[in-house]
Amino acid sequence: MDGIHDLGGKQGFGRVRREQNEPVFHGRWEAKVFALLRAARTAGALKNTDQFRHAIERIDPIAYLSHGYYGRWLGGLENLLVEAGVLNRQQIDSKALELGADTDWRVAARPVAQPDVVGYESEEPSAIRPLPTEPLFQVGEPVHTRGTGTAGHTRLPAYIRGREGTISAWHGGWVLPDSNAHGRGENPEHLYTVAFSGAELWGEQSEPGVVVRIDLFESYLLKM
Amino acid sequence: MSEHEHPTSQQSIRAEAIESLLIDKGLLTEDAVDEVIVQYNERVGPMNGAKVVARAWKDPAFKTRLLADGTSAIAEFEFSGGEVDKLVVVENTSDVHNVVVCTLCSCYPWAVLGLPPKWYKDPAYRSRIVREPRRVLEEFGVQIAAGKELCVWDSSAEIRYLVLPEPPSDIDSASEEELAARVSRDAMIGVALI
Amino acid sequence: MISELSGIEQPPMANGELVFEAPWQGRVFGMARALSEAGLYSWDEFREYLIEAIAGWEREGEGDYAYYDHFLAALESLLADKGVLSPGPLEIRCSEFRHRPHGHDH
Name the residue range of residue B62's domain: 46-189
- Whether B41 is covered by a domain: the verdict is no
pLDDT tens-place string over residues A145-191: 999 999 999 999 999 999 999 999 999 999 999 999 999 999 999 99
Chain-chain contact of B146 with A209 (C-beta, under 8 angstroms): yes
**Which of B7, B17, B36 has its CB closest to that of C33?**
B36
Longest dimension (CA), chain A: 61
| Domains of chain A, residue spans | 1-113, 142-223
Query: What is the number of domains present in chain B?
Result: 1
SS3 A46: coil
Which residues of A fall within a CB distance of 8 Å from B114?
A: none
What pTM does this model have? 0.77
Query: What pLDDT sits at residue A197?
Result: 98
A122 backbone dihedrals φ, ψ, rounded to 5°: -70, 140
Phi then psi for B177, rounded to 5 degrees? Answer: -65, -45
The reply to whether residue C20 touches residue A34, judged by beta carbons under 8 angstroms, is no
Using CB atoms within 10 Å of the CB of residue A119, give its burial: 0 to 12 exposed, 13 to 18 middle, 19+ buried.
Answer: exposed
* Least reliable range by pLDDT among A84-88, B19-23, B80-84, C65-69: B80-84
Q: Enumerate residues 6+ apart whose C-beta is below 8 A from A176.
A: A186, A187, A188, A189, A217, A219
Looking up residue B138, the CATH number of its domain turns out to be 3.90.330.10
Q: What is the pLDDT of residue A21?
A: 43
Confidence (pLDDT) at C55: 86
Indicate the helix (H) or strand (E) that contains A5. Answer: none
From CA B70, how far away is CA B87, in angstroms rounded?
Answer: 5
Residue B101 included in any domain: yes
Q: What backbone torsions phi and psi does residue B99 show, to the nearest 5 degrees?
A: -145, 145
pLDDT at B158 exceeding the cut of 90: yes
User: Which residues of chain A have a Cβ shorter than 8 Å from any chain C Cβ?
Assistant: 24-26, 28, 31, 34
- Beta bridge pairs of residue A174: A128, A189
Cβ(A194)–Cβ(A213) under 8 Å? yes
| Topology of the domain comprising A142-223 | SH3 type barrels. (2.30.30)
Residue A28 has pLDDT above 70, yes or no: no
Distance from CA of A17 to the nearest CA of B (A): 6
Residue in chain C nearest A28 by alpha carbon? C21
| Contact between A17 and B117 using a beta-carbon 8 Å cutoff | no
Q: Tell the CATH superfamily of the A1-113 domain.
A: Nitrile hydratase, beta subunit (1.10.472.20)
- ipTM for the complex shown: 0.95
